[in-house]
Amino acid sequence: MGDPAGVAPELTLKAWAAVRGGLHRTLIADADANLLAETAARHRIAVSISRIEDLGATPSMQASEDVLFVRHRPIGAPARAGVPDAAHAAAVIASLEACAADALAGRAAAVVTNPVSKHTLHAAGFPFPGQTEFFEDRAGARGLMMLVSPKLRVVPLTIHVPLRDVPDAVTREGILGALRIMDRVLREDFGIPQPHIAVSGLNPHAGEAGDIGTEEIDTIAPAIAAAEAEGISARGPLPADTMFHDAARTGYDAALCMYHDQALVASKALDFDNGVNATVGLPIIRTSPDHGTAFDIAGKGVARPDSLIAAILLADLLASRREGAQ
Ligand SMILES: NC(=O)c1ccc[n+]([C@@H]2O[C@H](COP(=O)([O-])OP(=O)(O)OC[C@H]3O[C@@H](n4cnc5c(N)ncnc54)[C@H](O)[C@@H]3O)[C@@H](O)[C@H]2O)c1
Ligand SMILES: N[C@H](C(=O)O)[C@H](O)COP(=O)(O)O
């Protein structure tokens, strides 16, 4: 669903129009069918919306390429493009809950979430910093946020954490655990037989040999050594400012950074349009665009669907890989 007042309804329709007929499974929108119909009319997107009651009905459905299946979820109040409304939060949260439950029960092969406003959800009592943490909780396992694009795969160790709390959240156990998950995910989900992982420092110049902070010496390097002792190919700690240029990126399959902006600035600067935010390491597959609600352009018809398309295609690919591995 995503935030109904953001670009989500428009992107759902544009992405459906782009991927229809090209997926290995049926795309089902969990959203307000009336809002999708209004949005399609406003942006002149030809679509036939077919309401379904539950996902169990889908195997027998003959999906015409003109049909978008929608599990109708009323949003509780009219949506005004660009104007977030607390009245929508309950439906947005209910959509996340339903889709997570579908994936965990095997009724859905994957979940692709549209952008939400975290502030709107928090104000309604959503107890998680973001959706990544929500899906981890519902899956009962540690996951990682991985930004995936043709140019870079990168994981922030700490995610939605205030910057002043980051150093305490950077622990040897946390880094080692993240490296284990990354190594497994790169092999199993991304099909890389011998993955190489680059690890950033926390401080400028990775601490300059202890002159500008000691987390690299005390925490990050020992975690990398422990990972290498387990057979994981990890290298670092590297200065974060020089590990993302074109030549540097040829030396690894994925990077682990210590905090949100180290990782996401690199990813979004390199490829904002094609970036996907994937929650990896969980028993379920969840992907999302790398961008947010874009309230400033909602309703104007100019939102680019590329990132949502990439998120849908990656979810489809990962689901096929996992099915093939069974
Ligand atoms: N996947 C998610 O759910 C997700 C991801 C990032 C941010 N957010 C949330 O979104 C809200 C707004 O965040 P923000 O303003 O920092 O980032 P944003 O990505 O919503 O917007 C940043 C800029 O990029 C532009 N932009 C974004 N998506 C675009 C698209 N598809 N096509 C063209 N231009 C696009 C916007 O117009 C804006 O100028 C916040 O509440 C944030 O937490 C959600
Ligand atoms: N940090 C993410 C980004 O900027 O792309 C975004 O806030 C979404 O996070 P969740 O998927 O955890 O909601």
Residue 58 predicted with pLDDT over 70: no
The yes-or-no verdict on residue 64 having pLDDT over 90 is no
The separation between CA 259 and the C-alpha centre of its own chain, rounded to angstroms, equals: 16
The 10s digit of each residue's pLDDT in 243-285 is 999 999 999 999 999 999 999 999 999 999 999 999 999 999 9
In this structure, the answer to whether residues 17 and 87 fall within a common structural domain is: yes
Of 95, 116, 141, which residue sits at a domain end? Answer: 141
**Mutational pocket test of ligand 1: of 291, 297, 308, 309, the residue with most ligand atoms within 8 Å of the beta carbon:** 291
Asked if residue 71 belongs to a domain, the reply is yes
Name every residue whose Cβ is closer than 8 Å to that of residue 318 and which is 6 or more positions away in sequence. Answer: 110, 189, 278, 285, 287
DSSP symbols for 49-67: EEEES-GGGGGG----TTE
> 17 with 49, same domain?
yes
Q: Is 216 in the pocket of ligand 2 (CB under 6 A)?
A: no
Whole-number Å distance, alpha carbon 223 to ligand 1 midpoint, is 34
List the domain range (segments joined by +) for residue 277: 142-281
The answer on pLDDT for 79 being more than 60 is yes
Report the residue count for the chain.
Answer: 326
Q: Ligand 2 within 6 A of 158 CB? A: no
Q: Shortest CA distance to 312 belongs to which of 86, 80, 148, 78?
A: 148
CA of 187 to the centre of ligand 1 (A): 31
Tell me the average pLDDT across 165-189: 98
pLDDT digits (tens, 9 = 90+) for 90-116: 999 999 999 999 999 999 999 999 999
Q: Label residue 5 by pLDDT band (50, 70, 90).
A: very high
Give the annotated binding-site residues for substrate. Answer: 132, 268, 277, 286
What average pLDDT does the structure give for the chain?
Answer: 96
Residues 123 and 148 placed together within one structural domain of the fold: no
Ligand 1 atom having least distance to the Cα of 277: 1
Domain end, chosen from 109, 141, 173, is at 141
Contacts of 7 (CB under 8 A, 6+ apart): 115, 293, 294, 297, 298, 303
Task: Look at ligand 1, atom 37, and give the residue with the nearest C-alpha.
Answer: 294
Number of C-alpha atoms within 13 angstroms, CB side, residue 191?
A: 8
**pLDDT band (50, 70, 90) for residue 12:** very high
pLDDT average, residue stretch 293-318: 98
In a domain, 202, yes or no: yes
Atom nearest to 294 CA in ligand 1: 20
User: In CATH, what number is assigned to the domain containing residue 250?
Assistant: 3.40.718.10
What does the pLDDT read at residue 57?
A: 59
Measured by CA distance, the residue closest to atom 9 of ligand 1 is 292
Looking at the predicted structure, is the pLDDT value of residue 325 above 90? no
Q: What type of residue sits at position 81? A: A
Mean pLDDT of 16-33: 95
Cα–Cα dist 210/11, whole Å: 47
pLDDT number for residue 53: 86
In three-state secondary structure terms, 81 is coil
Phi, psi dihedral angles at 67 (to 5 degrees): -100, 130
* Structure confidence at residue 21 (pLDDT): 87
Residue nearest to atom 9 of ligand 2 (CA): 130
What domain count does the chain have?
2
Do 256 and 125 lie in one domain? The reply is no
Ligand 2 center–CA 291 separation, angstroms:
8
Asked if 170 and 232 sit in the same domain, the reply is yes
Ligand at shortest distance from the CA of 296: 1
For tokens 């069974």, what's the residue?
326
What's the predicted TM-score (pTM) here? 0.96
Q: In angstroms, rounded to a whole number, what is the distance separating the alpha carbons of residues 292 and 31?
A: 17
- Mean pLDDT for the stretch of residues 77-83: 96
pLDDT band with cut points at 50, 70 and 90 for residue 62: low
In a domain, 48, yes or no: yes
